[in-house]
Amino acid sequence: MLKGKKIVLGITGSIAAYKAAYLIRALIKKGAEVQVVITPAGKEFITPTTLSALTNKPVVSHFFSTDDGSWHSHVDLGLWADCMVVAPATAASIGKMAHGIADNMLITTYLAMKAPVFIAPAMDADMYAHPSTQRNLELLKSYGNHIIEPATGFLASTLEGKGRMEEPDEIVRQLELFFSETPFSKKKILITVGPTYEKLDPVRFLGNHSSGKMGFALAKACVMRGASVILIAGPVAMHYSHPLIERIDVESAEEMYDAAVSRFPETAVAILCAAVADFRPAQVATEKIKRDGDRPLNIELVANPDIAAALGRQKRSDQLLVGFALETDHAEANAQEKLRKKNLDLIVLNSLKDEGAGFKTDTNKITLIAASGEKKEFPLKSKQEVANDIIEEIGKRI
Ligand code: PMT
């Protein structure tokens, strides 16, 4: 898949620059041709001699060659490459790339690049978490660049591990996925994610603990394989923008239902990961409900529409419908029942009885059950790995 691919590898001034040597070796082993462009700070961490020995090409770092004054053309590199990978990418270089500050050969090459660009951030956790770095990464994504970072990067709830550069083998794997024809290439996938909020009065709502992590990891797994995603998101604090993701923000189950039912026909697969409220208050008070001493308050609830069941009725034979089951008791029997009642092709069972599974955690433990009767149990893994497992199983069925 990477055989014969021409890759410009941009290296910036991070301690992780040594990993660029492993990355070059792995790329060359796959048959790629690698041209290194390095910043002045990058050379403080790894020598051009090492890099040119590995790539079999002179390293480009200046606008002009110091030997004979000949011009290194960033424009030619932009036309030559099948892709550019910036690894490691420091906060400073990310900022310059986001704002077009073309004061070195690497940034001018980036600005002239005609091919897809992959950026692997590398910095300490505090620098990574700083709003300016996060804003710059968002800008780079909005320009259509691909950010490659460990699953802990955007899913983790703690700072630990954030900002660490993705391992070279994983970068190679993601490039291979990008260049390969997968069952997902050019397919459209609908994903519901997060909780729904059901209004009680102008200040209160009924909701649940879904953070959106599982659903966002699924969206990432889909776009990494070339699918485009319609991400229907309940109220979540998560962000993951990507040129292949169309995000529709909704609040209530009814809004999520309307969006899902109207967009389902144009998709090949729907994955219903949202924790949809099954009930909503029968009346939404126009003013804040006041307490009346110690008197109990009774709220009448009415059933919300079942999105999964509606899509199950609407489903064509060329569409695949995947649901989740979040259980606390009789997990497998309940999941089987939901699979059948909602006319799903596949159900992802996760149980709140399993430590590290379910809401908010960075991990999950799942069992996949297919309508055909097939069943597959997986150990506890990061939500990104779980998402990859689910997407691989879906890939076998489309
Ligand atoms: O977001 P995180 O914090 O990462 O947590 C992930 C998760 C625990 C929310 C996720 O892994 C999960 O289990 N999602 C489904 C939660 C749920 O509501 O399950 P359920 O068993 O109640 O619903 C069964 C299926 O029907 C689900 O696919 C659900 O999206 C769907 N449903 C339910 C009710 C409804 N009115 N409409 C629906 O479409």
> Amino acid letter at 355?
E
Burial of 222 (0-12, 13-18, 19+ CB in 10 A): buried
Q: How many Å apart are CA 299 and CA 281, to the nearest integer?
A: 7
The confidence score (pLDDT) of residue 157 equals 61
Q: Look-up: residue for tokens 């002179």?
A: 58
| Residue 193 DSSP SS3 | strand
The pairing of beta strand 245-249 with beta strand 228-233: parallel
Q: What angle do CA 232, 237, 239 make, to 5 degrees?
A: 65
Q: Look-up: residue for tokens 């986001």?
A: 98
Q: Which atom of ligand 1 is nearest to the CA of 212?
A: 1
259 lines ligand 1 (CB under 6 A): no
Q: Do domains 6-179 and 188-395 have the same CATH topology?
A: yes
Q: How many Å apart are CA 92 and CA 199, to the nearest integer?
A: 44
User: Cβ(35)–Cβ(10) under 8 Å?
Assistant: no
Q: Could you tell me the distance, in angstroms and rounded to a whole number, from the CA of residue 275 to the centre of ligand 1?
A: 4
Closest residue by Cα to atom 35, ligand 1, is 306
Q: Could you tell me the distance, in angstroms and rounded to a whole number, from the CA of residue 99 to the centre of ligand 1?
A: 40
> Amino acid letter at 164?
R
The confidence score (pLDDT) of residue 226 equals 86
321 lines ligand 1 (CB under 6 A): no
C-alpha distance from residue 196 to each of 68, 273, 275 (Å): 65, 12, 7
The confidence score (pLDDT) of residue 181 equals 85
14 lines ligand 1 (CB under 6 A): no
Q: Could you tell me the distance, in angstroms and rounded to a whole number, from the CA of residue 293 to the centre of ligand 1?
A: 37
273 lines ligand 1 (CB under 6 A): yes
Q: Side by side, which strands form the sheet with 33-38?
A: 33-38, 6-11, 83-89, 117-121, 146-147
Q: Could you tell me the distance, in angstroms and rounded to a whole number, from the CA of residue 232 to the centre of ligand 1?
A: 13
- Kindly list the domain boundaries of the chain, sorted by start residue: 6-179, 188-395
Q: How many Å apart are CA 393 and CA 233, to the nearest integer?
A: 23
307 lines ligand 1 (CB under 6 A): yes
Q: How many Å apart are CA 113 and CA 74, to the nearest integer?
A: 8
User: Euclidean distance between the first and final Cα of the chain, in Å?
Assistant: 22
The CATH number fitting domain 6-179, selected from 3.50.30.20, 3.90.1150.10, 2.60.40.10, 3.40.50.1950: 3.40.50.1950
Q: Which atom of ligand 1 is nearest to the CA of 310?
A: 39
Q: Could you tell me the distance, in angstroms and rounded to a whole number, from the CA of residue 180 to the centre of ligand 1?
A: 32
Reading the chain (398 residues) residue by residue, the pLDDT tens digits are 899 999 999 999 999 999 999 999 999 999 999 999 999 999 999 999 999 999 999 999 987 666 666 666 778 888 999 999 999 999 999 999 999 999 999 999 999 998 999 999 999 999 999 999 999 998 998 888 888 987 655 666 666 668 899 999 999 998 998 888 889 988 999 999 999 999 999 999 999 999 999 999 999 899 888 899 999 999 999 887 777 889 999 999 999 999 999 999 999 999 999 999 999 999 999 999 999 999 999 999 999 999 999 999 999 999 999 999 999 999 999 999 999 999 999 999 999 999 999 999 999 999 999 999 999 999 999 998 999 999 999 999 99
| Residue 372 DSSP SS3 | coil
User: Cβ(15)–Cβ(42) under 8 Å?
Assistant: no
User: Cβ(385)–Cβ(367) under 8 Å?
Assistant: no
Alpha-helical segments (H) within the chain: 18-29, 48-55, 74-80, 91-99, 105-112, 125-129, 131-142, 151-155, 168-179, 213-224, 253-263, 307-314, 331-341, 383-395
Q: Best mutation site among 208, 273, 311 for ligand 1, i.e. most ligand atoms within 8 A of its Cβ?
A: 273
Q: What is residue 291's DSSP assignment?
A: P
Rg (CA), the chain: 24
User: Residues 203-216, buried b or exposed e (16+ Cβ, 10 A)?
Assistant: ebbbbbebbbbbbb
**Catalytic residue annotation:** 208
Q: How many Å apart are CA 249 and CA 254, to the nearest integer?
A: 12
Q: Tell me: domain 188-395, CATH 3.30.70.1290, correct?
A: no
Q: What is residue 342's DSSP assignment?
A: T
The confidence score (pLDDT) of residue 160 equals 64
Q: How many Å apart are CA 205 and CA 47, to the nearest integer?
A: 59
Whole-prediction pTM = 0.80
Q: Look-up: residue for tokens 């590199």?
A: 77
Q: Best mutation site among 272, 276, 330 for ligand 1, i.e. most ligand atoms within 8 A of its Cβ?
A: 276
